[in-house]
Structure 1
């Protein structure tokens, strides 16, 4: 039975020898492509948010929850605000991958040099100027001499407020600027120790909601809002509708005109495209509904940002969610989306190899038989034109050599489908043997 199995099983050894180099080449190509394409997103990313009780802090928690569904941990890193976030993105040692940044905080060329990309604008961040109602202020020029908190330098609000003052013909020294963080500044305003404070934030920030409903606190109305947007292209004109805060109490009691930069997500250009895609998809879920200053579907958008938009984000804004992610788990869809070029290339490589390997296998198996034909031919050459005096030596020696060849051929292991090759060789050995035997009879005394 063991001998019979030697002649019936598939010759795995010959197949591996024939297909091995091609398989190794394909495997090496796959490993190289996997390393170059990098289809696996990182398990954690660092998001620089904002101050305590700010809209950025609240949003950071929402994004962390959204990406946690895909097993990606978002490490939230508090900051003073937009200015500090930009500094962190420009510093590779900070460890920050992505951050909330206010429009107007950077320039296109500077962002390109620093390797930063925008994931799009998320929402408008109106400039809120809250004043004690005892101060009758209708124009910004009336702020001269007042104590106004604009927040620490890292928030981005101080620079924005200086720009606003400059177009009103005022210098920063005309207003007594305070640099407290938002929460302490609110306490100071309510205690009457400062005259006003400036925020640039989404309306759902807890401090904004509180101040809009606090008696004795007045919101400044930018009656010249449209003019500001013409002077500063990164600003837009928005209206806080009457009664939007509390319809029952009619808060606010009138429409308020505000100027608003937009909040954007800015990332390093080497952030994994799959993570970029998840952040943009999460942005669509978080910011896609209608709000106080936007219609449904207006945000997120690739507009209102001076920083180049990431190709992965731009693709989402044009085509929506990737097709495969609608039907497959995220990790599998991302793998195919990142590796499709490699799959196509491998298909083009495997197709010709599939036609080459079977003939190679056949040749390898048959070569175990065919190589003995060389030995057989050598025996025939030895008995050609032998001088009569050497017949007695040459013929018996070649006959013994032929017997040795036949014995070794009988030990060849070959698949049953190639048995005809083996039996053909044995018949040819027998043919040469008969020929030698005939010559020996002719030369016998």
Structure 2
């Protein structure tokens, strides 16, 4: 009984599907071709080259991984010696590394363009921290002559920067004894008086910086000529470590310190998917936009302070913020719509003509079930016309049986209630043709009896 009720509805599901079928197939084909032609979906894994263990780069890489995981993107971190090694990994065509932290001054615009490097923006000031042991305060780099200086391992970029600093002080690496211990072993060596000077570049939240600033007997070098350094090396900025910033109660440090600082930049290879660039930029904004010892609220991330060409996606981000759709939708849904907008517009253009074709096609399919039986009725009428008198009785009996079969099949037709009028009209017309045949049969029987 329920099935019978389902059959007599306003719409016939089967005919509706058949009417929409060709159009649906066309839409699927258009979407498939569009999906194949547009940029592929972004991968779910990014490889990043970070820095030394327990260093700022490594800590920030972990925070980026947490942010990206919110959008089901895995950030695989590979430890490195620092900025220089990161730069080489990103530009190496055989490397899987797509992004990394690079210190400003590590390359120039021409080399970056040649190596396929793009900048997603500078992230934070990364001051050059120069800690030393001395009974009195040193005021110039030339006073380091003859001392043992630890500049960190090859690949971190500090050695190259220190060599540049020495050059503008009329010195060379031969004037000092260079050690290349990693930052943590180098700190231990300074505390054990095995090296005289420890130089490294790090963000202000570095545990080593925090610890050394509060260690008795360890001094921080004050770049009183910081402004002059920034004129000689444009990739450097003059920053000030405020008095009391470490501990106001204990007045640590006891006075303002002038420092020179390159900026840490998020550098990627130009083959990185644009959608992932946008996602990394959003993560960078959440991680680096706050104020710290050296930067104001909202100063970073920034498209300034970088000699590497800024990516087009990054320029749009700094100008307009995150993509509009990603402000309201999940990353994957928004990205799909952004990639498929051409197909969506094309389908929108097709919708109007298709909307005029489908309804008539559906109506035709429903009514064709009824109208095709009129051909059978017409054949019955033709069969009883111009029949010889002697054959009328047998022809009439044959056509009555034919009408019974037609009526039986018509009774099994299921159509929506909105088209019931046509069905009942067909039945009345079958009854009309049957009446004509029966009239002819009665006349033939009377004639045979007489």
Q: Are residue 8 (structure 1) and residue 8 (structure 2) matched?
A: yes
Distance 1:182 1:334 in 2: 41
Closer, same or farther: CA 406–131 of 1 in aligned 2, 3 Å: same
Distance 1:2 1:410, change over 3 A: farther
SS in 2 for 1:361: helix
What is the Cα deviation at residue 56 of structure 1? Answer: 1.6
1:138 CA displacement: 3.9
Q: Whole-Å Cα distance in 1 between the matches of residues 178 and 102 of structure 2?
A: 23
CA contact (8 A) 1:37 1:339 kept: no
The structural deviation recorded for 1:361 is 1.3
Does the 8 A contact of 1:122 with 1:299 survive in 2?
yes
Question: More displaced, 268-277 or 238-247?
Answer: 268-277
Q: CA 1:7–1:49 in 2, change beyond 3 Å: closer, same or farther?
A: closer
Q: Which residue of 1 aligns with 2:130?
A: 129
1:239, CA displacement in angstroms? Answer: 2.4
Does the aligned pair in 2 maintain the 1:120–1:303 contact within 8 Å? Answer: yes
Aligned residues: 444
**Partner in structure 1 of residue 105 of structure 2:** 104
Deviation at 1:421, TM superposition (A): 1.7
Displacement after TM superposition at 1:182 (Å): 1.0
Q: Give me the whole-angstrom Cα distance separating, in 2, the residues matched to 1:310 and 1:407.
A: 75
Q: CA 1:358/1:142 → structure 2, altered by over 3 Å: closer, same or farther?
A: same
CA distance in 1, matches of 2:51, 2:400: 96
Contact 2:137 2:219 in 1 (8 A): no
1:56 aligns with 2:57: yes
Q: 1:380 deviation in Å?
A: 5.1
Cα distance in 2 for residues equivalent to 1:234 and 1:434: 104
Separation (CA, whole Å) in 1 of partners of 2:173 and 2:353: 74
CA RMSD of aligned residues (A): 3.9
Provide the C-alpha distance between the structure 1 equivalents of 2:378 and 2:113, rounded to a whole number of angstroms.
75
Aligned equivalents of 1:276, 1:224: Cα separation in 2: 38
Alignment correspondent of 2:202: 201
Does the 8 Å contact 2:289/2:300 carry over to 1?
yes
**Tell me, what secondary structure is at the counterpart of 2:77?**
strand
Post-superposition offset of 1:123: 0.7
| Larger deviation, residues 390-399 vs 142-151 | 390-399
SS in 1 for 2:194: coil
The 2-side partners of 1:233 and 1:351 are apart by 59
Provide the residue aligned with 1:154 in structure 2. Answer: 155
C-alpha change, 1:175 and 1:373, in structure 2 (3 Å) is farther
Name the structure 2 match of 1:306. 307
Q: How does 1:347-426 map to 2 (within 5 A)?
A: 347-379=348-380, 401-426=402-427
Residue pair 1:125, 1:262 contacting (<8 A) in 2 also: yes
* Greater mean alpha carbon deviation, residues 339-348 or residues 49-58: 339-348
Deviation of 1:382 (Å): 5.8
Deviations for 1:305-363, whole angstroms, at most 9, x for unmatched residues? 23343444433322335555555666666666666665555444445434432222111
Deviation at 1:436, TM superposition (A): 5.9
Taking the TM superposition and a 5 Å limit, the aligned residue runs for 1:229-268 are 229-268=230-269
Corresponding position of 2:316:
315
Q: Deviations over 1:20-57 (max 9, x none)?
A: 22233434555666675667872x54433211332222
Unaligned runs of 5+ in 1: none
Structure 2: segments with no counterpart, 5+ residues = none
Q: 1:271 to 1:408 in 2, by over 3 A?
A: same
In the TM superposition, what whole-angstrom CA distance separates every residue of 1:398-428 from its partner, at most 9, and x where no partner exists? 6655554444333323223222222333344
* Counterpart contact for 1:7–1:416, Cα < 8 Å: no
SS at match of 1:155: coil
Does the residue aligned with 1:305 lie in a helix, a strand or coil? coil
Contact 1:152 1:181 in 2 (8 A): yes
CA contact (8 A) 1:116 1:269 kept: yes
Deviation at 1:17, TM superposition (A): 0.9
User: 1:133-212 residue pairs with structure 2 within 5 A?
Assistant: 133=134, 138-212=139-213
TM-score by length of structure 2 reads 0.81
Q: Is the 8 A contact 1:6 1:415 kept in 2?
A: no
Q: Is the 8 A contact 2:121 2:302 kept in 1?
A: yes
Q: 1:171 to 1:388 in 2, by over 3 A?
A: farther
